[in-house]
Amino acid sequence: MSATGIGASVRRKEDHRFITGAGRYTDDINRPGQAHAYFLRSPHAHATIKKIDASKAKAMPGVLAVLTGDDLAADKIGGLICGWMIHNKDGSPMRAGGHPALAQGKVRYVGDHVAVIIADTLAQARDAAEAVTVDYGVLPAVVDTATAMTSKTVVHDVAPNNSVYNWHLGNKDDTEKAFKAAKHVVKMNIVNNRLAPNPMEPRAAIGLYDKAEDHYTLYTTSQNPHVARLVLSAFIGIAPENKLRVVAPDVGGGFGSKIFIYAEETVCVWASKKVGRPVKWNSDRTEAFLSDAHGRDHVTEAQMAIDENGKITGLRVHTIANLGAYLSTFSSSVPTYLYAPLLSGQYNIPAIYAEVDAVYTTTAPVDAYRGAGRPEATFVVERLVEVAARQLGIDPAKFRQMNYITKFPHQTPVIMMYDAGNYNASMKKALEAADYKGFGKRRKEAEKRGKLRGIGFSSYIEACGIAPSAAVGSLGAGVGLWESAEVRVNPIGTVEILTGSHSHGQGHETTFAQLVSDRLGVPLESVSIIHGDTDKVQMGMGTYGSRSGAVGMSAISKALDKVIAKGKKVAAYVLEASEKDIDFKDGKFSVKGTDKTLDFGACALQAYIAHKFNGQDLEPGLKEGAFYDPTNFTFPAGVHIAEVEVDPDTGVTKVVNWTAVDDFGVVINPMIVEGQVHGGIAQGIGQAMLEGVVYDKEGQLVTASYMDYCMPRADDLPSFTVGMTVTACPSNPLGIKGCGEAGAIAAPPALINAITDAVGHEDVAMPATPKVVWRAAQKALKKMAAE
Amino acid sequence: MAMKMQGEVTLPASRDVVWAKLNDPEVLKACIPGCEELTKDDDTHFSAVAKIKLGPVKATFKGKVALSDLDPPNGYTISGEGEGGIAGFAKGGAKVALSDAEGGGTVLRYDVDAQVGGKIMQLGSRLIDSVAKKYADEFFAKFALAVAG
């Protein structure tokens, strides 16, 4: 291992500009003559728009335009799309209602876009928004996930009973048989709470229209600018792709919420032509709470069948997933193909059947959020497993070990073919690191201090590296999920990597450069990673689902192979040897059995000056591209152990220990991976203890600021103990599995398992606030008293 | 979000006087906190403009007020609907009942049921009940002076 290659904890190259305030985010970009957009949003959860009177607003100082859904329709701008077709059990397609970027006749959630006011300054736009009168016909709201299908109020006429789809996966008959034959059945009702994504940088956009070229540019906070261009061009119809450039510069976190193509950027780019000026919009924090796609929001009934030997024989799940008022870009895939295929967990479960009802409600759209479907699946499986172990009186670690999959490849009953793993190795290492043996002693010691100490496990698995294009295509995806890369070697041997992956906190500028340094033997500072601009990078599918390592870097690796192969041809001419006698190692081409060498940089120069070979025999230059389409998902897995202390008098829970042992396959930069694990766990603890989006019965969002939505802070978290085991991923050339979401997937069940262990009662819903925990502790006391 | 509030005050005036003042837009305008305009459209309908501050949100609400279930001098229902532009909306009403107080004066009972939504709700939900209570207290303190005078 070199000091800068694969496996080295190199400091992040990008951090210097971030921590010195030199990052360039969308809101840092200003264009001469730019105007500002302000979105007038619905204060009602559900209403018809009878009339919009903007005459007064239009006459106000600085106002350039007040645009509504009618203007979009007149320009034949299409609605926002959902790019994944899910079919009902009966084979019919899902019922998707229209999703105009500005409301047309009806608003369906608080924050829905009624009109946009564009003015010289933001203050003028806001003032003018005050002067727009909207005559609403208020309709009843539908908020509750569990009962949305029985509501008399219908959100979209095309979706009776608010049912988007009724979908299933697995083998129903086998599962029924397993339950009939079961010795023991564990039943649980599980709610996965709704979350707001809260990236540090709120969403923003600037649309520009160049009249001379009849060309648009959109700067936006996107995790996948090429997908944004594709959708804005092919579906929404802003402009053909060659007339639309999308740039996602530095982006301050996304967690999924910046995958999607939203109303605001669509309107900014469209309106830039209408007003003849650049149009800028920057979300404020309350707008982010209202209109960034939320995450999770599942209500599930789950049962696990277990035989007389403590082996899990079946799993049955019915989930109702709230997709909000409109189908966001990938929303339909989250509670289906990103959820149910993970219900086997790390366990050998012969029969699984999952049924999912997705529902419309008058709330903000719900889509992928760090983990997307896998946290929901893991929470179901790991709560069931823990409770099963408790009911059977088997140690929860041992019960897991009894049921682990140990032979690979392993075909689950729910699509996935796990290719490699060693779950027991992670469990053993975690038990040791957490000093599981010493827990009894720690519990007794805590008891003396009046505290309830509990321990909880999570043996999660997830699917990353999404995904083989043909496979996702057969499941309804509207796109292929490969990745592209281009390696441009400059004449003096510096290297530019153009990648379709997008970095918004992950550290690609460092890890991708490490791969190049490792393979080409060039120093890190000679490598630049270029991403996020459709004018530079030809095509890409972006960053989500922990795919940038497994898929994005595999594409780079493939292109690097081509560069080395071409370099060998050049070197053969320069060193006057046969191409098959040329070796490449540590940045040097050499002729086998001789001391003749050519540095990589010198080779590049020779490739460009082309003095040593004939252009008919070999093309000059050193630039190669590749598309990499994965052959399977990757399957990171691991064990997290949470230890908590609960104050029974107040219900306050303190997370005292956290142990994570993860198998991410081959690790490029352990420091960055550890950082991803830390961030993920913090987010998972946030979901389990602190965070929760709350709408009241009328559909008003009551958690629309940090006064009411509680984010995890450093003092809510213990110092994490992070370890790793490694089984290389066999399906990609680098052996990478992916680490971006693992913490957020693993943490919630580990923490709730620990809290329920501490208080002695299973009725602890997320977020486990002091009130929730105190009530559970009281119930446990009452139960004990009654017994 | 629903906002419910009940209460009663004893006013130092006869029921007839209280009833008359409750129907006098000038008196109501003077007593409603933040009320800038209250004009009579007809005997039971008014147009109102009021400035309301709830936590970080300050907005001018414009709306219509209607009186119904008129039962002089025993009570009525006052209901209204106001739009605060981008600050949101408020709508709802109060049942007002008058009865003679022991030892003179009039007891006024009120039962408020209102809906609040939009930004005022998003930023101020925790404050709504206490602010509503404060506004009610302010109103009745002034109204008591008005009926006494």
CATH number at residue B80: 3.30.530.20
Q: Which of B1, B122, B123 sits opposite A698 (nearest CB)?
A: B1
**CB–CB of B117 and A704 under 8 A?**
no
A618 and A639 co-located in one domain: no
Find, in chain A, the residue whose alpha carbon is nearest to that of B86.
A130
Among candidates A512, A232, A173, which has minimal Cα distance to A353?
A173
- Please name the residues between 284 and 303 in chain A that touch chain B, using a CB distance below 8 Å: 286, 289-290
Burial of A688-699, coded b for 16+ CB within 10 Å and e otherwise, reads bbbbbbebbebb
CA atoms of A728 and A422, how far apart (whole Å): 10
CA atoms of A259 and A333, how far apart (whole Å): 13
Q: Say if residues A646 and A710 touch (Cβ distance below 8 Å).
A: no
CA atoms of A422 and A411, how far apart (whole Å): 15
DSSP per residue over A685-698, as a string? Answer: HIIIII----B-TT
How would you list the strands of the sheet with A483-489, edge to edge?
Answer: A527-531, A495-499, A483-489, A623-628
Write down the pLDDT at residue A1: 57
Q: Are strands A417-418 and A410-411 parallel, antiparallel or unpaired?
A: antiparallel
Find, in chain A, the residue whose alpha carbon is nearest to that of B121.
A702
- Please check whether residue A180 lies inside any domain of the structure: no
In this prediction the pTM is 0.95
Domain encompassing residue B134:
2-148
Residue A365 is classified by DSSP as -
CATH number at residue A111: 3.90.1170.50
- Calculate how close chain A gets to B80, using CA atoms only, in Å: 15
- Which of these three, A585, A611, A628, is where a domain ends? A628
Question: What residues of B are in contact with residue A126 (Cβ under 8 Å)?
Answer: 86
Q: Which bin fits A262, alpha (ψ -120 to 50), beta or left (φ > 0)?
A: beta
Q: Is A624 exposed, middle or buried (0-12, 13-18, 19+ CB in 10 A)?
A: buried
- Please check whether residue A107 lies inside any domain of the structure: yes
Write down the pLDDT at residue A154: 98
Please name the residues in contact with B123: beta carbons below 8 A apart, sequence gap of 6 or more.
A286, A704, A705, A707, B54, B55, B56, B57
A347 and A404 co-located in one domain: yes
| Count of domains for chain A | 3
Q: Above pLDDT 90, what percent of chain A? A: 98
Q: Say if residues B125 and A708 touch (Cβ distance below 8 Å).
A: yes
- Any CB–CB contact under 8 A between B57 and chain A? no
Write down the pLDDT at residue B97: 96
Identify the H or E element spanning B91: strand B89-100
Mean pLDDT, chain A, rounded, equals 97
Find, in chain A, the residue whose alpha carbon is nearest to that of B118.
A43
Question: What residues of A are in contact with residue B2 (Cβ under 8 Å)?
Answer: 696-698
Residue type for A471, please? Answer: A
Q: Are strands A215-220 and A204-210 parallel, antiparallel or unpaired?
A: antiparallel
Residue type for A216, please? Answer: Y
- Calculate how close chain A gets to B131, using CA atoms only, in Å: 16
CA atoms of A564 and A664, how far apart (whole Å): 28
- Please check whether residue A186 lies inside any domain of the structure: no
pLDDT at position A178 over 70 = yes
A-B contacts (CB, under 8 Å):
58
Q: Bridge-partner residues for A117, per DSSP?
A: A38, A66
Q: Say if residues A640 and A660 touch (Cβ distance below 8 Å).
A: yes
Lowest mean per-residue pLDDT among A11-25, A295-309, A629-643, B128-142: B128-142
Mean pLDDT in residue range A714-720: 96
The verdict on ipTM greater than 0.95 is no
pLDDT at position A537 over 80 = yes
Write down the pLDDT at residue B60: 87
- Calculate how close chain B gets to A652, using CA atoms only, in Å: 22
**CB–CB of B123 and A126 under 8 A?**
no
Mean pLDDT in residue range B30-37: 92
- Any CB–CB contact under 8 A between A131 and chain B? yes
CA atoms of A718 and A404, how far apart (whole Å): 29
Write down the pLDDT at residue A460: 98
- Return the CA Rg of chain B: 15
**CB–CB of B88 and A290 under 8 A?**
no
- Please check whether residue A160 lies inside any domain of the structure: no
Q: Say if residues A279 and A119 touch (Cβ distance below 8 Å).
A: no
Among candidates A600, A714, A702, which has minimal Cα distance to A655?
A714
Residue type for B24, please? Answer: D
- Give B52-94 pLDDT, tens digit per residue: 888 778 888 888 999 999 999 999 999 988 888 888 888 888 9
CA atoms of A666 and A669, how far apart (whole Å): 9
- Please check whether residue A168 lies inside any domain of the structure: no
- Calculate how close chain A gets to B108, using CA atoms only, in Å: 30
Query: Collapsing DSSP states into helix, strand and coil, what is residue A518?
Result: helix
Write down the pLDDT at residue A615: 87
Q: What interhelical angle do A670-685 and A742-759 show, nearest 10?
A: 50
Q: Above pLDDT 70, what percent of chain A? A: 100
Domain encompassing residue A531:
482-628
A130 and A233 co-located in one domain: yes
Find, in chain B, the residue whose alpha carbon is nearest to that of A113.
B86
- Please check whether residue A345 lies inside any domain of the structure: yes
pLDDT at position A784 over 90 = no
Residue B148 — pLDDT band, cuts 50, 70, 90?
confident
Question: What residues of B are in contact with residue A119 (Cβ under 8 Å)?
Answer: none
- Any CB–CB contact under 8 A between A50 and chain B? no
Q: Is A74 exposed, middle or buried (0-12, 13-18, 19+ CB in 10 A)?
A: exposed
A303 and A437 co-located in one domain: yes
Among candidates A89, A167, A170, A168, which has minimal Cα distance to A349?
A170
Find, in chain B, the residue whose alpha carbon is nearest to that of A705.
B123
- Please check whether residue A148 lies inside any domain of the structure: no
- Return the CA Rg of chain A: 27
Q: Which of B86, B125, B126 sits opposite A130 (nearest CB)?
A: B86
A379 and A457 co-located in one domain: yes
Cα A775 → chain centroid: 33
Question: What residues of A are in contact with residue B119 (Cβ under 8 Å)?
Answer: 43, 286
Identify the H or E element spanning A605: helix A600-609
Q: Encoding tokens for residue A786?
A: 């009654």
pLDDT at position A2 over 90 = no
A307 and A364 co-located in one domain: yes
- Calculate how close chain A gets to B113, using CA atoms only, in Å: 14
A601 and A712 co-located in one domain: no
Please name the residues in contact with B21: beta carbons below 8 A apart, sequence gap of 6 or more.
B13, B27, B143, B146, B147
Torsions phi, psi for A213 (to 5 deg): -100, -5
Q: Bridge-partner residues for A412, per DSSP?
A: none
Torsions phi, psi for A693 (to 5 deg): -80, 130
Q: Say if residues A653 and A689 touch (Cβ distance below 8 Å).
A: yes
Q: Is A213 exposed, middle or buried (0-12, 13-18, 19+ CB in 10 A)?
A: exposed
Find, in chain A, the residue whose alpha carbon is nearest to that of B119.
A43
Find, in chain A, the residue whose alpha carbon is nearest to that of B83.
A133
pLDDT at position A44 over 70 = yes
- Please check whether residue A475 lies inside any domain of the structure: no
Assess whether the previous peptide bond of A140 is cis (omega < 30° from 0).
no
Burial of A118-142, coded b for 16+ CB within 10 Å and e otherwise, reads bbbebebbbbbbbbbebebebbebb
CA atoms of B111 and B132, how far apart (whole Å): 12
CA atoms of A753 and A303, how far apart (whole Å): 17
Q: Which of A42, A46, A696 to mutate to test the interface with B (most CBs of B within 10 A)?
A: A696
- CA angle (A541 as vertex; A199, A554 as ends), nearest 5: 105
Among candidates A263, A303, A302, A305, which has minimal Cα distance to A283?
A263
Burial of A591-610, coded b for 16+ CB within 10 Å and e otherwise, reads beeeebbbebbbbbbbbbee
Q: Say if residues A644 and A454 touch (Cβ distance below 8 Å).
A: yes
CA atoms of A194 and A765, how far apart (whole Å): 12
Question: What residues of A are in contact with residue B116 (Cβ under 8 Å)?
Answer: 700
CA atoms of B53 and B34, how far apart (whole Å): 9
Write down the pLDDT at residue B58: 82
| Count of domains for chain B | 1
Q: Which of A44, A129, A286 sits opposite B123 (nearest CB)?
A: A286
A273 and A313 co-located in one domain: no
Residue A405 is classified by DSSP as -
Find, in chain B, the residue whose alpha carbon is nearest to that of A288.
B122
